[in-house]
């Protein structure tokens, strides 16, 4: 008897927030009460600083050495080139959504078979720093996917090869009370044509909440896809607009919303409260919408 393989639902791993000034962006997140890691350097011309939550992180990214960044070639995805072009085309913001990888070769094969792949696997290592300042090596394997209708949203899975060198509990303690990622919010003028891609990428179906709003549950956070009108109705701000999908917002779960409110207020950051959510809009958020909500 043939056994059917059980789909693997991929949880949220990280998002890329591309910015013009990495130090200024670090100060922004620090003002919001996040613990921000030290500067790291990629071998292809981008630099980053990370904000860790349990099993998830924000990669704040700067195109620091543009002359070192290779262009994409046939079958080769250029991470640096994508973010350089994103910054030049649409400005700062959430450029890439990354899910946790388990078997990069199998994920590549799945994306290729569905017509959403076509890129070689990418393995790399870089130097990282522990909270005590000591150097360690971190290593990753990436499998890229693409939604052909969305030129300003990047997608890949990420497998940590040396997770013991990457994750640091001390970096996951935040003054604003953020305890974990609650989800990401994507927007598209017509959400339905993007469902097949997202269901392949996530490994789970998206359920319709209302017309124009779909939700996928993953082992680590939700993926919401909604129309710009519904995004504005829900969060009282305008999302980024594009012909295809854009990554519009990042949702944080906090243990004590009052603690978060006090921290955001003390930072003098422009914020709104809507139905229990604290909302930092893209004007203040360097092109990203940041949402804080009570959990537990």
CA distances from 95 to 7, 59, 145, 247 (A): 27, 10, 14, 7
Place of tokens 């450029």: 95
The pLDDT value given to residue 1: 40
Domains 12-171 and 176-294 share a fold: yes
- Token pair, residue 56, equals 């998830």
Q: What are the tens digits of pLDDT across the range 83-112? A: 999 999 999 999 999 999 999 999 999 999
Q: How many CB atoms lie within 10 A of CB 111?
A: 23
Look at 148-162, 218-232, 263-277, 278-292 and tell me which has the smallest mean pLDDT.
Answer: 263-277
Residue 218 C-beta-side C-alpha neighbours within 13 Å: 26
The pLDDT value given to residue 11: 98
Give residues with Cβ within 8 angstroms of 111, minimum separation 6: 117, 118, 143, 144, 145, 200, 201
Mean pLDDT within 192-214: 97
Q: What are the tens digits of pLDDT across the range 4-14? A: 455 689 999 99
Mean pLDDT within 163-175: 94
3-state secondary structure of 273: strand
The pLDDT value given to residue 4: 45
Domain ranges of the chain: 12-171, 176-294
Q: How confident is the model at residue 134 (pLDDT cuts 50, 70, 90)?
A: confident
Mean pLDDT within 182-203: 98
State the chain's mean pLDDT as an integer: 94
The pLDDT value given to residue 245: 98
CATH no., domain 12-171: 3.10.180.10
Chain-centre distance of CA 102, in angstroms?
A: 18
pTM of the predicted protein model: 0.95
Q: How confident is the model at residue 279 (pLDDT cuts 50, 70, 90)?
A: very high
Fold of domain 176-294:
2,3-Dihydroxybiphenyl 1,2-Dioxygenase; domain 1 (3.10.180)
């Amino acid at each position: 008897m043939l056994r059917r393989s059980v789909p693997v639902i991929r949880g949220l791993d990280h998002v890329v927030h591309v910015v013009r000034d990495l130090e200024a962006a670090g100060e922004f997140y620090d003002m919001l009460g996040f613990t921000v890691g030290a500067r790291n350097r990629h071998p292809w011309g981008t630099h980053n600083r990370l904000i860790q939550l349990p099993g998830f992180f924000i990669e704040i990214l700067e195109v620091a050495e543009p002359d070192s960044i290779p262009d994409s070639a046939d079958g080769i995805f250029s991470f640096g080139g994508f973010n350089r072009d994103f910054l030049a085309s649409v400005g700062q913001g959430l450029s890439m959504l990354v899910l946790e990888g388990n078997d990069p070769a199998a994920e590549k094969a799945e994306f290729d078979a569905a017509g959403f792949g076509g890129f070689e696997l990418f393995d790399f290592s870089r130097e990282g720093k522990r909270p005590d300042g000591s150097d360690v090596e971190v290593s990753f394997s990436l499998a890229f996917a693409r939604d052909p209708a969305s030129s300003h949203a990047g997608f890949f899975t990420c497998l940590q090869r040396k997770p013991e060198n990457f994750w640091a509990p001390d970096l996951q303690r935040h003054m604003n009370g953020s305890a974990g990622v609650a989800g990401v919010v994507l927007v598209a003028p017509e959400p339905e044509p993007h469902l097949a891609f997202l269901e392949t990428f996530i490994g789970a179906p998206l359920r319709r909440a209302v017309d124009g709003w779909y939700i996928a549950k993953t082992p680590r956070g939700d993926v919401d896809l909604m129309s710009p009108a519904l995004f504005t109705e829900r969060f009282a701000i305008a999302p980024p607009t594009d012909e295809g999908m854009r990554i519009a917002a990042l949702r944080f779960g906090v243990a004590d919303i009052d603690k978060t409110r006090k921290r955001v207020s003390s930072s003098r950051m422009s914020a709104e409260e809507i139905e229990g959510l604290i909302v930092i809009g893209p004007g203040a958020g360097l092109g990203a919408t940041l949402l804080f909500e009570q959990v537990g």
